[in-house]
């Protein structure tokens, strides 16, 4: 190397990587100027010195034997691939370098008595930083995919079921367990296990299912206590891991647990397990800690929304009859479907109730708006109608007037909550059934006769809750054998497809005309199905829908 041509030496000295050449005795015979930037030495000061000057002291003892073997055979642990090792800086600290070794046989005819060793050293700091950035990016991508998977869950329970497989698949762990606090918050109980394809952890499942952890106890309890990720690098020997026999039986070596927090409240602890003993970098712990908080906020919100939906469903059911009564000689059926908007409680309702004199009141109504305020107006409408119909031999117009008065009395400075409604009083008769109909701003009922003809019945009136002096007309209608009377809300006829076309009264009439005679259940099912077809793929939001059918068998 000392005899290298000038072009070759110029090339070596211009390289950004450090090149070190050692003779057969392990002394430095050449080093290029890049060593100054990497390890703080002047190149000239290193000539003739042992290679050990560039090594941390803990490696110097084994250097002599290994160097001699490599010089003679070209074989050694560091040969054949670039290896990351620590080098000693002139200032005394260590620098991680990527080391590549090669052996050069002596040139025939020279007086060199053995091969020389060439080492190329490159600063690993930039590579390490890039690798860490790529790893962090991968971790963050994994947590984003976890969050994306959770957003598709309808409730918190399903979200927790999806959490483990998504998290483990994205982060390459072999198994996972989920722990959640008991109702009193005193202990963690096992609520789920996930296994990677091809993996099996039956002992861990059995052991975890029979175990609970207090705060600070075991890996889950430690994550709970620390409110941060906790690592057990060797689950077979670490005394903090209390299921060592299970880990050995299922060949699980490394574990990490992280808490899922919503504020100060613990929602769950997730454990991840690897069959290989692996280091858990700080970057992953940071990502898991952040993911635990983010997932906790999301799951907490999802759980709260689920509870609100349950309450809303209970409230909605209270605004509808729990079941339809049996009217002698009449078949009854109804369908209700809430709208597709953000409001959890709709404003549609219907009711069928017996009256003391043997008649029956039938009501369908639609409150302007949705939500809690609309629900209160719906309840007022339904219960006022029931009270007015039961108090005396009132007709449908008197029932609607009573509701109108009650609504006006309840009006405040808030938005106007008017109501459309259709009320009918059904009277049994020897030759069929008779009814009187009053309508307040509501779609007119449709009567399908036995021969398939469809006609509107009643006279449109003004909505309820606006004018104290409003009056409603009553229309007498015969309901003969084979006929079907259909009451509905505007969620049926105003359903729009993707181009904005409404289902309309004509569409509803066509559906009814094609049905068999006197089919109550078949009628409401066919109407609901036709509306769903109208809405399929539509950009327009669905409104509440209520359909009530009364059919007289032939």
For residue 32, the domain's CATH number is 3.30.450.20
**pLDDT confidence of 2, banded at 50, 70, 90?**
very low
Are residues 474 and 340 part of one domain? yes
Number of H helices, E strands in the chain: 15, 21
Contacts of 464 (CB under 8 A, 6+ apart): 381, 400, 403, 404, 407, 418, 419, 420, 421, 440, 441, 470
**Whose structure tokens read 């990527």?**
98
Name the DSSP class of 458. S
- Domain presence at residue 265: yes
pLDDT (0 to 100) of residue 454: 95
Question: Total domain count for the chain?
Answer: 3
Are residues 25 and 107 part of one domain? yes
Are residues 286 and 326 part of one domain? no
pLDDT (0 to 100) of residue 155: 64
**197-211, 215-229, 295-309: lowest mean pLDDT where?**
295-309
Q: Determine the Cα–Cα distance for residues 397 and 369; give it in Å rounded to an integer.
A: 24
Angle at 441 between CA 435 and CA 442, to 5 degrees: 60
Q: DSSP assignment of 292-303, as one string?
A: HHHHHHHHHHHH
pLDDT (0 to 100) of residue 495: 92
Of 257, 288, 311, which one is at a domain's C-terminal end? 311
Residue 98, strand partner residues: 84, 122
pLDDT (0 to 100) of residue 1: 45
Q: Determine the Cα–Cα distance for residues 508 and 282; give it in Å rounded to an integer.
A: 64
pLDDT (0 to 100) of residue 283: 78
Tens digits of residue pLDDT in 471-528: 999 999 999 989 999 999 999 999 999 999 999 999 999 999 999 988 899 999 999 9
Of 123, 150, 183, which one is at a domain's C-terminal end? 123
Give the tokens for residue 104.
Answer: 């050069």
pLDDT (0 to 100) of residue 46: 93
Q: What is the residue range of 203's domain?
A: 132-311
Are residues 465 and 378 part of one domain? yes
Residue 238 has pLDDT above 60, yes or no: yes
Look at residues 495, 519, 402 and name the one whose alpha carbon lies nearest to residue 443. Answer: 495
Tens digits of residue pLDDT in 79-135: 666 788 889 999 999 888 888 887 766 655 544 445 577 888 888 876 666 666 666
Question: Quick one: average pLDDT of 437-444?
Answer: 96
CATH number of the domain at 480, please.
3.60.40.10
CATH number of the domain at 138, please.
3.30.450.40
Are residues 165 and 113 part of one domain? no
Are residues 299 and 435 part of one domain? no
- Domain presence at residue 316: no
- Domain presence at residue 317: no
- Domain presence at residue 1: no
Are residues 161 and 42 part of one domain? no
Name the DSSP class of 414. S
Do 358 and 386 form a contact (C-beta atoms < 8 A)? no
Are residues 212 and 98 part of one domain? no
Residue 341 has pLDDT above 70, yes or no: no
pTM (2 decimals)?
0.52
Residue 429, strand partner residues: 432
pLDDT (0 to 100) of residue 131: 62
Are residues 304 and 331 part of one domain? no
Are residues 116 and 161 part of one domain? no
- Domain presence at residue 253: yes
Three-state DSSP class for 264?
A: coil
Tens digits of residue pLDDT in 356-375: 888 999 999 998 876 667 77
Of 72, 90, 123, which one is at a domain's C-terminal end? 123
pLDDT (0 to 100) of residue 282: 83
pLDDT (0 to 100) of residue 315: 61
Q: Determine the Cα–Cα distance for residues 186 and 182; give it in Å rounded to an integer.
A: 6
Are residues 368 and 478 part of one domain? yes
Residue 343 has pLDDT above 60, yes or no: no
Tell me the Ramachandran region of residue 105: left when phi exceeds 0, alpha when psi lies from -120 to 50, beta otherwise.
Answer: beta
Are residues 172 and 84 part of one domain? no
């Amino acid at each position: 190397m000392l005899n290298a041509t000038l072009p070759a030496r110029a090339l070596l000295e211009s390289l950004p990587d450090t090149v070190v050449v050692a003779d057969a005795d392990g002394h430095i015979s050449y080093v290029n100027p890049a060593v100054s930037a990497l390890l703080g030495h002047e190149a000239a000061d290193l000539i003739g010195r042992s290679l050990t000057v560039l090594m941390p002291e803990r490696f110097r003892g084994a250097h002599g034997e290994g160097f001699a073997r490599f010089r003679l055979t070209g074989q050694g642990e560091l040969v054949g691939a670039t290896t990351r090792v620590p080098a000693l800086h002139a200032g005394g600290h260590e620098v991680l370098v990527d080391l590549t070794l090669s052996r050069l046989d002596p040139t025939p005819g020279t007086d060199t008595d053995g091969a020389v060793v060439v080492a190329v050293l490159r600063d690993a700091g930039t590579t390490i930083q890039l690798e860490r950035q790529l790893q962090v990016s991968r971790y963050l991508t994994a947590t984003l995919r976890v969050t994306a998977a959770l957003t598709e869950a309808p409730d918190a329970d399903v979200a927790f079921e999806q959490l483990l497989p998504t998290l483990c698949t994205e982060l390459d762990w072999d198994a996972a367990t989920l722990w959640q606090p008991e109702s009193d918050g005193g202990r963690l109980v096992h609520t789920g296990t996930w296994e990677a394809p091809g993996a099996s952890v039956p002992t861990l499942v059995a052991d975890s299912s029979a175990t609970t952890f207090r705060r600070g106890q075991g890996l889950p309890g430690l994550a709970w206590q620390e409110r941060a990720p906790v690592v057990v690098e060797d689950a077979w020997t670490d005394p903090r891991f209390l299921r060592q026999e299970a880990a050995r039986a299922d060949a699980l070596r490394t574990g990490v647990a992280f808490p899922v927090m919503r504020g100060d409240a613990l929602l769950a602890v997730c454990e991840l397990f690897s069959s290989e003993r692996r280091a858990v970098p700080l970057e992953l712990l940071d990502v898991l800690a952040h993911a635990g908080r983010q997932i906790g906020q999301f799951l907490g919100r999802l759980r709260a929304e689920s509870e609100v939906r349950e309450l809303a469903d209970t409230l909605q059911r209270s605004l509808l009859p729990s079941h339809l009564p049996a009217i002698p000689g009449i078949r009854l059926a109804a369908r209700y479907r809430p709208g597709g908007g953000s409001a959890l409680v709709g404003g549609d309702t219907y009711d069928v109730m017996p009256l003391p004199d043997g008649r029956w009141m039938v009501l369908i109504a639609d409150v302007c708006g949705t939500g809690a305020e609309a629900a209160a107006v719906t309840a007022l409408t339904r219960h006022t109608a029931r009270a007015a119909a039961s108090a005396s031999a009132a007709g449908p117009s008197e029932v609607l007037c009573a509701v109108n008065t009650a609504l006006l009395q309840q009006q405040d400075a808030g938005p106007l909550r008017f109501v459309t409604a259709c009320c009918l009083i059904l009277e049994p008769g020897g030759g069929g059934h008779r009814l009187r109909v009053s309508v307040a701003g509501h779609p007119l009922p449709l009567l399908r006769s036995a021969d398939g003809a469809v006609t509107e019945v009643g006279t449109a009136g003004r909505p309820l809750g606006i004018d104290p002096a409003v009056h409603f007309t009553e229309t007498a209608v015969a309901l003969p054998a084979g006929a079907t009377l259909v009451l509905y809300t505007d969620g049926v006829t105003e359903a729009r497809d993707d181009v904005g076309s409404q289902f309309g009264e004509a569409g509803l009439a066509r559906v009814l005309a094609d049905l068999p005679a006197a089919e109550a259940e078949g009628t409401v099912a066919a109407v609901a199905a036709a509306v769903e077809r109208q809405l399929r793929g539509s950009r327009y939001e669905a409104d509440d829908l209520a359909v009530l059918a009364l059919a007289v068998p032939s």
